[in-house]
Structure 1
Amino acid sequence: MNVTIEYGIVGVPEHHIKVTHQLPPQYAAYRCDFSEPILMTSPAVDIIYHTAVANGCSLTNNVFVVKEPVQLLPKAKDPLSTLCCMIQGSINMSYANLTTIPLLQGQYNCFHVTGPQQPTLFVPGVYEVQYYQFSRDLLAYHSNHSKLASNWVYKIDMGMPAHLTPTPGIIWEGMHHLNRELKFCIVNTPLRRTWLAGKLQELLILVLEQQDSSIIPSSQDVTFNTIKAFISNNLDKELSISQLASTYFISASKLRQSFIKYCGMSFSDYQLKVRLERARSLCIDRDVSIAHIAYIVGYKNPSALTKVYKNYYGETPSETRRSRSSE
């Protein structure tokens, strides 16, 4: 398969694994626009690969539909330097030196990968990972201005597998939108591949800036801030406290307490606050229809948004827009 990282399925005989370029209807939602899909099916897990290469760098999206507990063995054909974004689901990855690295939904990590890694357990569910592979030349170009890039190049030159972000990064709003833009971009001409290479460099620069300037917080702060960022980036989704607690490997009661402690309100009140603040911002700052705003912040129709919005702000979204436009 023409992919940057393949996954062996531990304990599944090869004759039970099939590879095709056709996605069945139930997987249509997992199709990306930047390349043709490759689907690997087995009794335990189905894996959907998309990969595009541009100027020595690459963009890869992998979706794992796990049907029963299974161990997957990541294998890189060649050493690669990769930024790994967990879009959906969380796992505890077993790394080359037998350490366990949490890859939590809504976080990113940077790695230099060489050869086979350790098998990682996936429990039933859907997982989506978006990888960005960067060439040594591109990382070296930025190494004089970035501690992370300099360390990355050192690990490459030493041929050492490395986890380069001991404190994971949180996928902020801008990175979330860039991930989605790249997932649904069309890369079918040399000019579009040049465009993709520029976008990959833009993403790398943003990550280097964030990592070089960040102060290392406690793991509890990172996890809770990741949950808040994930909520903000996914206002159109129905999220529950139990679902989030399970995804982030914490108890529902502890997560409820965290919202009270750090936000001064319940999870449902926090979610409502963030949704309506985003709706208000869109009413004020952007030329977006009220119907589309309702969709963006998770309401089925404009009437549902208007009712909740007026109860919260004392005016309708249309009144907010008119009052701000007249100022």
Structure 2
Amino acid sequence: MNVTIEYGIVGIPEHHIKITHQLPPQYAAYRCDFADPVLVTSPPVDIIYHTTVADGCSLSNNIFIVKEPVQLLPKVKEGVSMVCCMIEGSINLTYVDMTTIPLLQGQYNCFHIIGSQQPTLFSPGIYEVQYYGFSRELIAVYTSHSTLAKKWLYKVDMGMPILLTPTPGIIWDGLHHLNHELKFSVISTGLRKTWLLGKLQELLILILEQQDSNTVSSSQDITFNTIKTFIRNNVDKELTISQLASTYFVSASKLRQSFIKYCGMSFSDYQLKVRMERARVLCLENEVSIAHIAYVLGYKNPSALTKVYKNYYGETPSETRKNGVPG
């Protein structure tokens, strides 16, 4: 399989593992546009790979549909330097030196990986990871401008597996949009491969800039800020406090208290505030229809959006558009 990382399924005999290049109807929603899928099926877990390469760099989207607790063994055929974005779900990755690294939904980490890693336990659920692999030559371009790139290249040349971001990065809105854009871009010609390489360079530069200027915060601050950013990046989803608490390995009561303490409002009020602020910005962009705004924000129809919006702002989305930005 042409994938950046392959996953062995611990304890499952090979004759129970099947590989196909067709997605069944129930998995159609997991299809990416940038490459053809590879589906690995087994009793405890199904894994969907999409991978493409451009001049020694790669883009890979992996979906794990976990039906029962299972240990997966990440492995690579040769050393690979990557940025790992956790799009959906959270896991505790056991690294090569037996340290545990949380990969939380809405966060990213930078790795240099060599050979097989330690098995990682996946609980039942859906997990999505988007990987970006970078060549030594591309990383070397930025060593004179970036502390992380310099450290990264040194570890690559020493052949040392390492977690390069001991403090995880939060997938901010720019990276969120890049992840989405790349996932649903068709990469089928030489010109599109060149376009992809440019996008991967852009992504690497953004990561290096954020990491070089990153200040270490407490794990609690990082987790809560990740949750807030995830809510802002997923305004179309009906998120619940219990769902978020389970995903981020915190108690629901503690998470409720965090919203009151740090945001001065309840979780539901914060979610509504984020939605309405996004709606107001979109309303002031005349090229976006009210129906499209409702769709983007997860409302079933424009009337549902209008009702909530008017209750929040005292005017309808159309009135906001007509009146423009208040003076």
TM class, shorter-chain normalised?
over 0.9
How many residues were matched structurally? Answer: 327
How far apart are residue 285 of structure 1 and its match? 3.5
Give TM-score scaled by structure 2 length: 0.99
Specify the alignment match of 1:104 in structure 2: 104
2: CA distance between counterparts of 1:81 and 1:88? 22
How far apart are residue 299 of structure 1 and its match? 1.1
Alignment of 1:107-118 (within 5 A): 107-118=107-118
The code of the aligned residue for 1:56 comes to G
Is residue 296 of structure 1 aligned with residue 296 of structure 2? yes
Specify the alignment match of 1:169 in structure 2: 169
Cα shift readout 1:53-105 (whole Å, capped 9, x = no counterpart)? 01110000000000000000001011000000000000000001000000000
Specify the alignment match of 1:197 in structure 2: 197
Specify the alignment match of 2:133 in structure 1: 133
Counterpart of 2:35 in 1: which secondary structure? coil
Specify the alignment match of 2:252 in structure 1: 252
1: CA distance between counterparts of 2:325 and 2:257? 40
Give TM-score scaled by structure 1 length: 0.99
1: CA distance between counterparts of 2:282 and 2:48? 35
Identity %: 76
Structure 2 unmatched ranges of 5 or more: none
Specify the alignment match of 2:308 in structure 1: 308
Specify the alignment match of 1:25 in structure 2: 25
Instruction: Give RMSD over aligned pairs.
Output: 1.0
1: CA distance between counterparts of 2:266 and 2:55? 48
1: CA distance between counterparts of 2:227 and 2:322? 34
Structure 1 unmatched ranges of 5 or more: none
Specify the alignment match of 2:272 in structure 1: 272
1: CA distance between counterparts of 2:173 and 2:286? 16
How far apart are residue 286 of structure 1 and its match? 5.3
Specify the alignment match of 1:214 in structure 2: 214
Alignment of 1:1-20 (within 5 A): 1-20=1-20
Larger mean Cα displacement after TM superposition, 281-290 or 55-64 = 281-290
Specify the alignment match of 2:229 in structure 1: 229
2: CA distance between counterparts of 1:124 and 1:132? 25
Q: Is this contact kept in 1: 2:63–2:126, CA < 8 A? A: yes
The code of the aligned residue for 2:214 comes to S
Q: Which segments of structure 1 move beyond 2 Å, counting only runs of 4 or more?
A: none
How far apart are residue 256 of structure 1 and its match? 0.2
Is residue 71 of structure 1 aligned with residue 71 of structure 2? yes
Q: Is this contact kept in 1: 2:286–2:321, CA < 8 A? A: no
The code of the aligned residue for 2:22 comes to Q
Counterpart of 2:284 in 1: which secondary structure? helix
How far apart are residue 214 of structure 1 and its match? 1.4
Is residue 238 of structure 1 aligned with residue 247 of structure 2? no
